[in-house]
A and B are shown apart, each in its own frame.
Chain A
Amino acid sequence: MSTEALSPRHSPWTIDSRTVVFGAVGAALYAVLGLFSFLIPGTQSVTVRPAVALVPFFGKRFGVITGFFVGFVGNVVIDLIQGAGLIWWNWSVANGLVGAFAALIFTVIPPISSEALRHVVTALGALIATALGLLFIITDLWVLGIDFNTFLFLNYLPALLANGIAVVILVPALDAAWEPLAKRAGL
């Protein structure tokens, strides 16, 4: 057992048929499951979208390009379905970066034999990737003309809280379910 995200034959930057298909499947899953969300009690607008956990998971398992594709295209598709078009394009890029950072983080983490420790590292890595990727929404300062406090307290921290809860709980669960199948399939 290891935390190794990608098999040795795959570079995290490769764009082959698997990158494309797993990216498309991930984006479709994100778009469909992303329509479900629920409010955190006691807050005005902090909604948890369980599907965000798919982004770091795909980044970890299938590489930088797939991770970015799932977050970016999945979010754009949700916006298209809901009719928002490309207004929140920088949030889609931020979601994509979460997947890309997850791939990079898990590429440098050495194999871990303990299963419990591996789950903890997976959750932490996904959380760090989420925190780093979401920093891109600082572009709201220029795109929407908001100030730094608005970015930090109304955009970044609530999004990090909501997404952080989802990735910490669901990414280790997804990863644990996929691990034996990936080994069997030689991925």
Chain B
Amino acid sequence: MDVTPRYLGAGSFLARRDPRVLLLVPVLYFVAVANVADLRGMLVCAAIALVYYRAAGIPWRGVRANWVFMLTFTTLLVVVNSVFTAADTRVGAGEALFAVPLTGTEVTWATLSYASTLLIRYASLAMVSFPVAFAIAPSDLGVALARLRLSQRLAYGVDLTFRFLPSTVAALRETIDAQRVRGYEHSRSRNPFRKLASLKPVVVPVTVNALIDAEDTANAMDLRGFGAKHRTWMRELAFGRTDYLVMGGFLALAAVMTAAKFFGPFGEVWAP
């Protein structure tokens, strides 16, 4: 079981940026694409997101499964909600192209345009979000959050979480093996209650043992005066000119798209 984050974009243009840029760009992009209903506006944003994603240098082989899962899930979500049913759809003024059997939902060009807009929105959000997962060194996350004015202690907590992952996996494996020696077998029942109850012999000891060990770690940190003074970090972060340019570009995109949604055409569904 591999639970450590994969630093697939190491050495790429985005990996060389200040990690705060990679954390802030998705926020600005969310602002830019939220409630965009016009397919043309969404395509412009998606093109920018694609350029950004390519700059992360994430090898396709490493994330193929992630993309397949992500696109399958969002396509199902959009087709079911926006085409097959009227849960989240736009009919528009156009003539109905056809009606969906069983549900009877009338599909127009506006319906298809809006569904495409949603699908592209999800895919482009993934494009700006994947670099957070694959182009930030896990050891940089704590310091990046600290420099984003998150509490120093909580930022250290994020750092600590990543350090605990390998030992937690090892403890889980050890506990499962130990319980198997005692005759434990995971329930094959289809009853979710029984299935959950059968997990108790694994979840409870793993959690309790981790908490007992945590007490030692907390005592060690107390003895070293954790939290007594402002914490410093080995890794120095500083925005460079390129970082400002990338941030400025996405800030401008968010401002232009927000204005276009309120005063321009991008707040309405576009039907060809």
Contacts and interface: CB of A to CB of B under 8 A. Distances in A.
B197 interface: yes
Contact of B157 (A69, A85, A145, A147): A69
A18 B161 CA distance: 13
A83 B193 contact: no
Residue in B81, B126, B157, B208 with the greatest tally of chain A CB atoms within 10 Å: B157
Interface string A81-94: 11111110000000
A86 B26 contact: yes
A84 B133 contact: yes
Contact of A73 (B126, B131, B158, B217): B158
A53 B203 contact: yes
11 contacts: A17-B226, A20-B160, A25-B213, A29-B207, A32-B168, A32-B169, A48-B192, A69-B157, A154-B87, A169-B197, A174-B204
B22 to A, nearest CB: 9
Contacts of B125: 87
A86 B132 contact: yes
A4 to B, nearest CB: 17
Contacts of B196: 48, 50, 165-166, 169-170
What are the 5 tightest A-B residue pairs by CB atom distance, in nearest-first order?
Answer: A85-B129, A83-B66, A28-B164, A24-B160, A17-B221
Most chain B CB neighbours (cut-off 10 Å) among A19, A29, A50, A153: A29
Interface stretch (A34-42, A106-114, A115-123, A129-137): A34-42
A178 B203 CA distance: 12
A28 B161 contact: yes
Contacts of B193: 165, 169
A157 interface: no
A1 interface: no
A25 B88 contact: no
A177 B208 contact: yes
By secondary structure, the B interface counts as helix
Interface in B239-268: none
Contact of A147 (B88, B154, B211): B88
Given A17-B221, A24-B160, A169-B197, A85 B131 contact: yes
Contact of A145 (B118, B132, B161, B226): B118
A27 interface: yes
B160 A21 contact: yes
Interface residues of A, number: 62
Interface band, chain B: 35 or more
A80 B5 contact: yes
Given A29-B207, A31-B165, A41-B190, A17 B218 contact: yes
Contact of A25 (B70, B162, B205, B210): B210
A19 B157 CA distance: 9
* B70, B203, B206, most chain A CB atoms within 10 A: B203
Interface string A1-35: 00000000000000111111111110111011101
Contacts of A154: 81, 87
Contact of B70 (A38, A84, A153, A170): A84
A27 B190 CA distance: 28
